[in-house]
Amino acid sequence: GTPTDVPPPQANTHGNNQLRTEFTVTEQQMSTMSHASLFYAGVGYSVAWLNGDKLAPEEALGPWTTWSQRILYRCKDVSSLLRPGANAIGVWLGGGQYDSTWTHAWWKGPRGSHPPLGLRVMLRLTLKNGTAITLAASGTGSWRASPSPFVSDDVYKGVVFDARNISDGFAAPNFHEGKEWVPAVPVPNSSTLFGVMSPHVYTPSRIVSERKPIKMTQPSPGHYVYWFPENSVGWAQINDVNLPAGTTLSLAHGEQLAHFDSSGKLIEACLVGCENGSVWYAWGGAVDAYTLRGGEAETYGAIFSYHGFQFVELTGWPSTAAPPTLSTVTAQVVHADNARIAELQFPTSGKADLQTSC
């Protein structure tokens, strides 16, 4: 549903892109509750948890609008996630299209010229008698902020993620905050961040499939290139990697491979016949980096990134460890999860049929 009032002012991270708040639900409220709805919007991307449960785990990325004109919010039924007593909301924010180097290049503004990342949240409890109660909201002074594992993120150029900075339990009640947690700063209503708040009624983007590579080559020591059967959009994921803490793996995404001469000059870009080619990409690169926590098998995909690629080059793998395998890297295909409504077939005069689906 849509609230009759606009969600309260945003909580500004001032460089800290991880936020949390705690609130209380009484026994009486729980016993007389009809339903509970959480309205939230990140500027730009956001991932939210309530009492440690991730909201909309099947969704990926976030909406892209002209932020000064319109901000889309999500509404989730969280009735089953509330509990009597202490409750908590936790959020990760990402720059997304709101603060991307390439987005700014299109309108000739420098990155960082937008105000800092922000968040709007309102948890609305509706009782059986129709009474509506706001239990948690941004702009109330109860929000806290800290650095997240996202060291940096650019939706196109790539994400740097340090898993050693993950705050286990930060989205659960009674979390012990360290000295890095500071009060989040409310944004004045006059902020240029404030476009019209509108519900996100469109088909969300999701990880619609996972593609496995068809082969892996090693053009040079420490460089492993994964070949996928077709071009994808989304991100590459590392799977079940168990390496020492502090190891940083990089995943460079590209639609073509490149040949270089002995001086390092690019000779050609190609799709086939480049057995010893490295990933070739334009526009300054599309590279995600992940630093491991260590001590257990880790799986990671850069959820705030979006790349077009058919090849992925893995670097940073320790020479002392067993080399990666074909299953170490997969492609997560991400786009709006629209239903397939038609299929077209074109005759090709005796040649193999070309089928196109939409």
- The residue type of 163 is A
Residue 91 has a pLDDT of 95
CA distance 148 to 163: 9
What gap in Å lies between CA 85 and CA 156, rounded to an integer? Answer: 42
Look up residue 38 and give its DSSP letter. Answer: E
255 pLDDT band (50/70/90 cuts)? confident
| 275-311 confidence digits (pLDDT tens) | 667 777 655 678 999 999 999 999 999 999 999 999 9
CA distance 71 to 68: 8
The Cα-based distances of 109 to 29, 103, 146, 227 in angstroms read 49, 9, 27, 36
pLDDT digits (tens, 9 = 90+) for 91-144: 999 988 777 666 555 555 555 556 678 889 999 999 999 999 999 999 888 999
Quick one: average pLDDT of 204-226? 92
Tokens of 15: 């460089």
Nearest to 304, CA basis, from 77, 114, 39, 117? 117
Calculate the CA dihedral of residues 147, 151, 152, 157 and round it to 10 degrees. Answer: -150
Quick one: tokens of 183?
């009060």
Helix, strand, coil in percent for the chain, rounding step 5: 5, 50, 45
Q: Is the pLDDT of residue 355 over 50?
A: no
- Does residue 321 sit in helix, strand or coil? coil
What is the Cβ-side half-sphere exposure of residue 180, based on CA atoms within 13 angstroms? 14
For residue 59, the 8-state DSSP code is B
pLDDT at site 354 = 44
Q: Could you tell me the CA-to-CA distances from 246 to 170, 239, 241 in Å, in that order?
A: 22, 17, 13
